[in-house]
Amino acid sequence: MAGMGDGYVGTAQDGVRIRRLEKQREAERRKIEELKNKSASSGGQTGLLQFGSGTSEILETAFKKETVGLVTREQYVEKRVNIQNKFEEEEKEKLQKLQQEEEELQLQKRKKRKIKGNPRLSFSEDIENGSDEEDGENKSQKSKWFGNGKLGKDPTVETSFLPDSEREAEEQAERERLRKQWLREQEQIRNEPLEITYSYWDGTGHRRVIQASEDYLCCVRKGDSIGEFLRAIQQQLAPEFREIRTTSVENLLYVKEDLIIPHQHSFYELIINKARGKSGPLFHFDVHEDVRTIADATIEKDESHAGKVVERHWYEKNKHIFPASRWEIYDQTKKWERYTIHGD
């Protein structure tokens, strides 16, 4: 193949590709040579001074640029002096500018220190820059604000959302006072005497009343439990009923509105919680009927029936017979189906 060595054995396409690559390499070689020539010709007269050059080097470089070609001795000296004077003026301007920037920086630092030293006073700049009259007004205003012992606080600003140890201490003291007052009131309620109408049930009803009297030995209070109430009932009924004299308080049951109320519950709990039974409220202990001229199913009936005191042996023997068949254990978390109860 023409243009190839004697040992070349490639195809025509390979030869074309090789010639194209040789032309590209030649063009790149020429560009590199041109760049080298340009850098060599302008190497001594660069318009930019090298970083870190000394003052003498800068002067020498500027002087060379001004004295290109033939010049007389007077022109040579004049240009030398002019360049040196110009350079000195530029240096003075730079120095003055640096000094001015340093002074401004120091002034800003002093202002920051003043603000940081008295952060509560938002009018400090007005006091410094104002006139003598404004200074007098500010001083009088400051004396008014500082007279209450709390420096820098503006009484017109809303601060209720901020933490305040004094206010929190007052609130805590008020809560503690109200808590003690509430406990005293509840203790007074517990100590109030309670008049209870009940019926001793042994198949027939024997209605009795425990009077709300301070002097009566069998008096029951609102804070007493059902067990303490049954102990008072036992003392009241013992002279009349032999079976009551021979039994214990644990074998007596108190049934109110068809619910057997356990001994550990107190009358205070029933009153405070407004407990209700199947046929009426558990917090009324008298006997009254709910008389209405207009029937309204949305309003609960307020009629109250006498609670029954029953011996446990009698209940176990007759719990499959009415009315004991309707009795259930009281559960304060349960809602009961309501109906009208028959007489005791």
User: Residue 276: which CATH number?
Assistant: 3.10.20
Please give the backbone phi and psi of residue 342, each rounded to the nearest 5 degrees, phi first. Answer: -85, 170
Report if residue 250 sits inside a domain.
yes
Asked whether the predicted pLDDT for residue 146 surpasses 70, the reply is: no
Report if residue 15 sits inside a domain.
no
The tally of domains found in the chain comes to 1
Of the pLDDT bands very low, low, confident and very high (cuts 50, 70, 90), residue 216 is: very low
Per-residue pLDDT tens for 287-331? 766 545 454 545 556 677 888 899 999 999 998 988 888 888 888
Average pLDDT, the chain: 76
d(CA 153, CA 166): 15
Asked whether the predicted pLDDT for residue 122 surpasses 90, the reply is: no
Q: In the predicted model, what is the mean pLDDT of residues 227-256? A: 88
Of the pLDDT bands very low, low, confident and very high (cuts 50, 70, 90), residue 338 is: low
> What 8-state DSSP symbol labels residue 173?
H
Report if residue 138 sits inside a domain.
no
Report if residue 295 sits inside a domain.
no
pLDDT of residue 135: 58
Asked whether the predicted pLDDT for residue 240 surpasses 80, the reply is: yes
Contact 260, 327 (CB under 8 A): yes
Rounded to two decimals, the pTM is 0.46
- Decide which of 170 and 3 is more confident: 170
Report if residue 266 sits inside a domain.
yes
Report if residue 238 sits inside a domain.
yes
- Give the residue numbers spanning the domain of 233: 194-285+303-329
Least confident window among 40-44, 122-126, 246-250, 275-279: 122-126
Reading the block at residue 281, the tokens are: 């409220």
Asked whether the predicted pLDDT for residue 166 surpasses 50, the reply is: yes
Report the percentage of the chain scoring pLDDT > 70.
67
pLDDT of residue 221: 86
Per-residue pLDDT tens for 38-92? 766 655 444 444 444 556 666 677 766 666 666 677 777 777 787 778 878 888 8
Helices (DSSP H) in the chain: which residue ranges?
A: 12-41, 55-66, 73-117, 124-129, 132-146, 165-190, 226-237, 242-246, 267-272, 312-318
Asked whether the predicted pLDDT for residue 279 surpasses 70, the reply is: yes
- Decide which of 143 and 287 is more confident: 287
Q: In the predicted model, what is the mean pLDDT of residues 128-147? A: 57
Q: In the predicted model, what is the mean pLDDT of residues 10-20? A: 83
Report if residue 259 sits inside a domain.
yes
pLDDT of residue 178: 94
| Helix axes 73-117 and 55-66, enclosed angle (nearest 10) | 140
Report if residue 258 sits inside a domain.
yes
